[in-house]
Structure 1
Amino acid sequence: MTELLVCTDLDRTLIPNGHQPESPDARDLFWRLVQRPEVTLAYVSGRDRYLLESAIDEFALPTPDFAIGDVGTTIYRIDEGEWHAWRAWSDEIATDWAGNDRATLAGMLRDIPDIELQEPEKQNTHKLSYYAPADLDGDALAERIHDRLADAGVRSSVIWSIDEMRDVGLVDVLPAGATKVHAIRFLKERLHVADGRTVFAGDSGNDLPVLTSGLQAIVVANARDEVKQAAIRATAERGLENCLYVARGGLLGMNGNYAAGILEGIVHFIPEARSWLDIA
């Protein structure tokens, strides 16, 4: 039975593909922790299944028990190397788009300036994704898209984030129930894991719904300052300060970036995890 559910974003959270340095032993220590029998590991990412598998291979990551992909629109169970799509999740989120497919929604948004459809491989049945200039007011853009779709009876969640490496804005239009936070709650409820035994780690704007949801959440030290401040501000406004941990480095002499920050936050929320890492 799962005693601890560890959920983590990949790019610039577990994967050290940002500008900041990675602590040398951090990923090995993360691997050691998640291989324990009481730990269930779920990756939570904007990547699709094949990009998830590519990342696992390229960065020598532990194979997860579950993968929440495409910004929360897909959930896979991984069993002995086989990936099984969770149909119950797809059925649950499908009703939000009121019978409209992705192409129909794109038609509703065609006259909104400054957005450009992402490549076909970055779309899926329940995910409509655009590029936009990084210096736009992302919140205002997301609100405009949301309101346009709402007028057509579509219940949507519009997520704005920035790809630091490419300096481009990312806009994901999802069913209202298909955010990362809803997917994590769906998973933890079906695994019968309590809130106090669930942790999530992230770094970017599309992680903010989880970081500010009241689930135990970790912001890794390499996250953008505006993401840290937005998470701190939102949790304070909701009285959820105790549910958020912003990594700052120091655990085992590590810097708090990427996997080091995930481990630091896990130890903060789950004190017995110190012994799992053989920390004196």
Structure 2
Amino acid sequence: MVSHPSGSTPTRTPATAHPSVRRNAVSLTPRLVLATDLDGTFLGGDDQQRQALYADLNSRGDDLLLIFVTGRDLTFVADLVSQPGMPTPDLIIGDVGTTIVHGRDHAPVTELQDWVDERWNGANERVRDLLADEPGLRLQPVMGQRRVSYYYDPATLQASTIAKVEAAGFDVITSADTFLDVLPRGVAKGPTLTRLVAALDLPADAVLVAGDTLNDLSLFQTAFRGVAVGNSEPALVERLAGLSDVHHSALPGCAGIADAIEHFRFFAPSGA
């Protein structure tokens, strides 16, 4: 169970809180755009490591644009950011890339949400019917509107099941030998983040992605710099081999993120 920071450390005021993705875009000139997974990454590490990173991020003001990129839903995120000391994200990419909202009021980023909706086309029931009798799958109690999620048994899941889903026009993402998500074709954490960064006209060299499992893989397949934190699953580390812009930190979770911020010198003094 994750323990959250305590104390009276002030939290950030998000830079964006309006349905238009371009609100205040001219003032969005952060030195760091941190696009981070939650479980095992932004929520990873020990109490001291989490508190140190959160306090640092809360002190950064307009130098930081924080994006949570997670498989979790908005209810989970809302509970999370209510914890003392937890930084409030400027934007949230939830439900494995299929939900895109502003951090303070959860108003949809309409331009991107419409793109996902068009690709999904209300396919929840169709996907559930398609996979109703497939071995090795158990439906998760997840209410995402634009994905269908399962627990899966890697010993019994059939390759033909994956092929069946893909032939029907959807994508499949697995992670931690436990979770399987059926998503709209071409939609995942990475593609959604790429579109969001473009919509905000943010510089690619300000972006740092962070993750620890295979459902974060698409984040690292963007043009952005990234950190695979020290507790990353071996399957992700294997897939990242040879990617020059990925820092493989020896430190877990939040400590790995802090290590990467230092490694890439996002907050280094100008000219240093």
TM-score normalised according to structure 2 size: 0.80
Matched residue of 1:13: which SS? helix
Q: Is the 8 A contact 2:122 2:146 kept in 1?
A: no
Residue of 147, 160, 166 corresponding to 1:127: 147
Instruction: Give the whole-Å Cα distance in 1 for the aligned partners of 2:57 and 2:268.
Output: 10
Q: Is the 8 A contact 2:191 2:218 kept in 1?
A: no
Q: Is the 8 A contact 1:158 1:173 kept in 2?
A: yes
Q: Is the 8 A contact 1:157 1:176 kept in 2?
A: yes
Q: Is the 8 A contact 2:43 2:50 kept in 1?
A: no
Matched residue of 2:258: which SS? helix
Residue of 133, 141, 147 corresponding to 2:163: 147
| Long gaps (5+) in structure 2 | 1-27
**CA drift at 1:28:** 2.8
| Long gaps (5+) in structure 1 | 163-167, 249-255
**CA drift at 1:228:** 1.6
**2:249 aligned residue:** 247
Match status 1:161 vs 2:156: no
Match status 1:175 vs 2:184: yes
Instruction: Give the whole-Å Cα distance in 2 for the aligned partners of 1:116 and 1:137.
Output: 12
**CA drift at 1:200:** 0.5
The RMSD of aligned alpha carbons is 2.4
Query: Judging changes above 3 Å, is the alpha-carbon distance between structure 1 residues 29 and 104 closer, same or farther for their aligned structure 2 residues?
Result: closer
TM-score normalised according to structure 1 size: 0.78
Instruction: Give the whole-Å Cα distance in 2 for the aligned partners of 1:217 and 1:137.
Output: 33
One-letter code aligned to 2:252: N
**1:56 aligned residue:** 81
Residue of 238, 255, 263 corresponding to 1:229: 238
Matched residue of 1:131: which SS? strand
**CA drift at 1:186:** 1.4
Residue of 86, 89, 92 corresponding to 2:112: 89
Residue of 251, 258, 266 corresponding to 2:253: 258
Deviations 1:47-73 (A, max 9, x none): 110101122234742001001101110
Instruction: Give the whole-Å Cα distance in 2 for the aligned partners of 1:193 and 1:45.
Output: 20
Matched residue of 1:158: which SS? strand
Give me the identity figure in percent: 26
Residue of 62, 66, 69 corresponding to 1:41: 66
Instruction: Give the whole-Å Cα distance in 2 for the aligned partners of 1:259 and 1:107.
Output: 40
